[in-house]
Structures are given as structure tokens and as C-alpha cells.
Structure 1
Amino acid sequence: MMTNLFSVFDPSSSILNLSINWLSTFLGLLLIPSIYWLMPSRYNLIWNNILLTLHQEFKTLLGTQGHKGSTFLFISLFSFIVFNNFMGLFPYIFTSTSHLTLTLTLALPLWISFMVYGWINHTQHMFAHLVPQGTPAILMPFMVCIETISNIIRPGTLAVRLSANMIAGHLLLTLLGNTGPSMPNSIITILLVTQIALLILESAVAIIQSYVFAVLSTLYSSEVN
């Protein structure tokens, strides 16, 4: 019987009719306890260097008007997404970030909170953002419409960008893996090399997409201050 091509992404594992695939979202928590060791491990030192670098970069993006400690929100967001992206690369682990259910849950509350805070506390600043500087008077109504639409679709673009990139690579890996049993032995080696190359590419995408999500969220936050 023919099945849907995207059925590999469906949460199908269940116990007592309760989907347990989403529990893979919390697998990243298993890597945290090493932080509390008396002597820091190499993994801990590398991760601390990454977090310090992100902290400095997000602090620069937020500028002097940003609230103190707000960089930790975006660092936590980056950590959560990158852990989930990496866990999804292991066999038989559900990739939660490939579903709009999770990515929209991350993007929508952030965007709504930025908008509510900006329009309540910096109303004139938000209105000024709707018309770019130097716009001719005749084009101002059109620019307001364009800027409003681009502002409204921001959470959708954040969510779709992350989920689409995760789906694309995983789908390609799945399709190539399914063709393996029907291939002659001479081509299996080429297939394995291709799969390893794609896996390395997906590892890079896992980091890049989580970084892009966190940086764009930081930029959206800096606009409302």
C-alpha cells in the first residue's frame, strides 16, 4: 500500500494512545548535568566559549537600549533548537523541529510579546518603522501596507524557515536510504559516501538554522526598543 512521502515525520510511536515521540525534545537535557561537575569537561569548556561568543554578539545586536539579561533568552532559544536539530540526526529519534507545531510555538509568542511591548511603550517609534526614511509622500500609504504585511508574516517565516530546512535534509537522507536495498553492490559505496556527506551538511544546517532563528529573534527585539 502506498504511504505518504512525509509519513516518516509523523509522530507514530505511542503508549496507551499517547504520542511519546515528542519526548525526544527533552533529550538535550541529558547533556546539561556535566556542567555541574567539579572539574569542567572539554565539552563544558567548548560550550561555555560558544555561549560567551553568542552573548557578546547578541549584546551588540540589542544595543545600549536592550534590557539587561535579555541575551540569555536568545541564548537559551539557540541551545534548545540546536540540541533538537542534532538529536534529530540520530536514527530513530523524532525530529521535533521539523514540525510547525514546535517552530510556531517558539516564534509566535516571541513576536506577539515584542509587538505588545513595542506598541504599548514605544508607540511613536513603532509608527516610524512603518515608513522608511526618505520615502516620497506619494508612496507612504503603499510603504505602510508593505511594512505591515512584512511585519505580520515574520513569525511565519521564522517557523517555516526552520522546519523546511530540517525537513528537506531529512527527507533526502530518507529517500536515499530507502533506495539502498535495491541497488547493486558497486553503487552502495557511492551511496554511503553521499549519505555521509549529506549528514555532515545536515550537521552544519542544524547549527546554522538555530543561529539564524536566534539572531533574527534578537533583531526583531532590538527594533521595538
Structure 2
Amino acid sequence: MMTNLFSSFDPSSSLLIPMNWLSTILGLSFLPTMFWLIPSRFNLIWNKITETLHNEFKTLIGNNSIKGATLIFISLFSIIVYNNFLGLFPYIFTSTSHLILTLTLALPLWFSFMTYGWINNTINMFAHLVPQGTPPILMPFMVCIETISNIIRPGTLAVRLAANMIAGHLLMTLLGNTGPSLSLMLINILIITQILLLVLESAVAIIQSYVFAVLSTLYSSEVN
């Protein structure tokens, strides 16, 4: 039994054993169907999505990027969108609402970009600390501001994804808990509201996955 409202976001809140993290790999169980029926509708749709993402990420990274670099960000988008959608089902823990998972995705990416940039493109990385056209008197302050904004990038990536996943689920939980005390007419309105919120959360699941992947791509393009 839940002790408070935020227990649903605790991975150890299951009744018997803490199996909530298994939802992270549940998305893999949906993948084999596309290999048995080729070309299935799911396979055609997913190929179209990945092709569109590949073209967009390739434009963002630039022509100097390593071949196949976009596959990293397409895989990142796929992992996040799977987990976001799985969290919309009842009794499945949304692993992307936990900072452990989001930071695990954001920190290694940011650290690898920074390591590559400072080792191979040191002058370019120093140039990013001072925006073009900055007055000389403001240059020390701009270096401090740009350094801080660069350091907090993995934190903003992780918190943005986790906070958006928690916010929608929390709103649906709050509205759902008011159901037993409402009249029949208000319950009908509540059901319609919950359906609309579910549609909104489905859109948020895709948008946040896309935002995470695009921002990671933009961060990688700065170190080239």
C-alpha cells in the first residue's frame, strides 16, 4: 500500500519484490515482431521514423561527423520513448521519471563530448566560452557564465525529462484519487479529462524523447 503520493515514483514500492526496474527492458519484448513479419506495418513506420531522425540529426551534427554517429542518438531516442510509453500503462513503473536513469543517460554523453572536445579541439572549445561580439570588459563574466551553463547541461537534460514524466503522472493520480467522492456527472467529466490527459502524456512522451536526443546532438556538434 502506498504511504504517500510520491510512492509511485519510488522503484522499491512494489508489493512483493522491487521489480519496477524491469519495465526498462520490457520494450525489448516488442522488438522481435518486426523481424518475423517483414515488411510489417510497424517495421515500415519505424523505418520511416528512424530515417527522418537520421536526416535531421545529420544536419545538426554537420558534414564533418563520423559515419554512423546519428545511430547513437536514434538509439537514445528509441530507449527513452519506449520507457515513456510503458509508463503510461497501469502498474508499470516509469523508469524515465527517476533521476538515476536520466542522469545515467545524460552524464556519460556529456562527459564523452567534453573529453573529446578538449583533447582534439581545444581552441574551438575555448572559443565557445566567449560569444562573438562580446565587449572586452564583459569577457571574464561571459567565460564564467558559459562555463557554468556548460557544466549544468547534463543536470538540465536529466531533470527536464524526469520532471515532465513526473508532472503528468502526478496530475493524473491527483485527479484519479478524487473519483470516489464525486457525483455521477462529475465522474463522467473526470473520465473525459483523464482521457485527454492521457493523450497529452502520449504527446509529451514523444516530445521529451525528441528534445533529449536533439539537445544531445547539438551538444555533440559544438565539439567538432
C-alpha contact 1:14 1:20 (8 A) present in aligned 2: no
How many pairs were matched up? 223
Change (3 A) 1:50 1:2: closer
What is the TM-score normalised by the length of structure 1?
0.96
Encode CA deviations 1:5-31: one digit per residue, 9 max, x unaligned.
Answer: 21121121265xx52110100011011
Q: Distance in 2 between matches of 1:221 and 1:2?
A: 42
C-alpha contact 1:58 1:218 (8 A) present in aligned 2: yes
| Counterpart secondary structure, 2:178 | helix
State how 1:66-145 maps to structure 2 within 5 Å: 66-145=65-144
The corresponding residue for 2:14 is 13
Q: Report how far residue 69 of structure 1 moved.
A: 0.5
Runs of 4 or more, structure 1, over 4 Å off, are: none
C-alpha contact 1:55 1:72 (8 A) present in aligned 2: yes
C-alpha contact 1:130 1:147 (8 A) present in aligned 2: yes
Q: Report how far residue 140 of structure 1 moved.
A: 0.3
The corresponding residue for 1:158 is 157
Encode CA deviations 1:99-137: one digit per residue, 9 max, x unaligned.
Answer: 001000100010000000100010000000000011111
The corresponding residue for 1:147 is 146
Q: Report how far residue 186 of structure 1 moved.
A: 1.5
| Counterpart secondary structure, 2:88 | coil
The corresponding residue for 1:34 is 33
What is the TM-score normalised by the length of structure 2?
0.96
| Counterpart secondary structure, 1:19 | coil
| Structure 2, unpaired ranges of 5+ | none
| Structure 1, unpaired ranges of 5+ | none
Q: Distance in 1 between matches of 2:141 and 2:36?
A: 58
How much identity, in percent, do the aligned residues show? 78
